[in-house]
Amino acid sequence: MTTTQSDHDIEPSSGETVSGVSRFHRAERIFHWLNAVLFALVMATGAILYVGELSAIVGRRELVRALHVYGGLAIAVLFLAAVIPRWGLPLRADVRRLLSGGEKFNRGQQVNASFMMAAVVVFVGTGSVMRWYEPFSLNWRTGATFVHDWFALVTLLAVIGHVVFALLNPDSMRAMTGRKPFSARSRPYKGPERAENTRGGSAGGT
């Protein structure tokens, strides 16, 4: 997709919309969809490990366990992408907006994102105790399993809700799959590395 104006040049007044400006930076969209694939992987493999009937049908339990463990660790590593210079700038900018209650995100999006970030920390911690259990007491392993399983159930419900709301809001889907007109609630990241839109020319987009 091409544009002919830089994000830095567009400063709409309240209520005004300008076409051709991304609500989310390309790095954020890549992060979102990689994260979605990894969450689908760990939820599917987790269900297979937890439900005996599914485990019997699929088999290869050790492979499924390995995919579950390392898929979960990959999610944590992906979240660390926010600390990468330049590439992580738009991610950090939107995290600040989420935490500060800025106009770009509504309350439901803020709660969902905050819960997911907390859930990743809980899953990595409890999952590590469950996988590399030798240094931990039985009480620790039992507690980690309990917390891990219940967080998994709540996270599944949160993900289902997220997908339903996304499907019910086509504008949100377009914002995360490509481009959406600029609006007061859709303020894009406008950092110095924003080179997707160049003045007087065209640039590649997704």
pLDDT mean for each 10 residues of the chain (206 residues): 34 43 74 90 93 88 93 89 76 78 72 86 92 91 93 92 84 70 48 37 37
Sign, Cα dihedral of 172, 178, 179, 183: positive
Please indicate, yes or no, if residue 45 is contained in any of the structural domains.
Answer: yes
Backbone phi, psi, residue 4, to 5°:
-125, 15
What is residue 158's DSSP assignment?
A: H
Residue spans of beta strands (DSSP E) within 55-103: none
* 189 in any annotated domain: no
| In the chain, alpha helices (H) | 26-50, 52-58, 61-79, 89-100, 107-131, 138-168, 170-177
The C-alpha angle with vertex 132 and arms to 127 and 135, in degrees rounded to 5, equals 120
Select from 42, 36, 27, 159 the least CA-distant residue to 95: 27
pLDDT (0 to 100) of residue 38: 93
What pLDDT is attached to residue 112?
A: 81
Number of structural domains found in the chain: 1
Residue 170 lies in a domain: yes
What is the residue whose two structure tokens read 């979240």?
A: 79
What residues have CB less than 8 Å from 53, skipping those under 6 apart?
Answer: none
**Whole-angstrom distance, CA of residue 19 vs CA of residue 183:** 9
Range of the domain at 112: 20-177
What are the backbone dihedrals phi and psi of residue 129, each rounded to the nearest 5 degrees, phi first? -65, -40
Residue 191 lies in a domain: no
Would you state the pLDDT for residue 64? 92
pLDDT at 31: 86
Residue 190 domain-assigned?
Answer: no
* Residue 143's CATH number: 1.20.950.20
User: Is residue 62 included in any domain, yes or no?
Assistant: yes
Distance between CA 172 and CA 163 in Å, rounded? 11
Tokens 């300008």: give the residue. 18
Q: What is the pLDDT of residue 154?
A: 93
Question: 26 lies in a domain?
Answer: yes
Does residue 72 fall inside a structural domain? yes
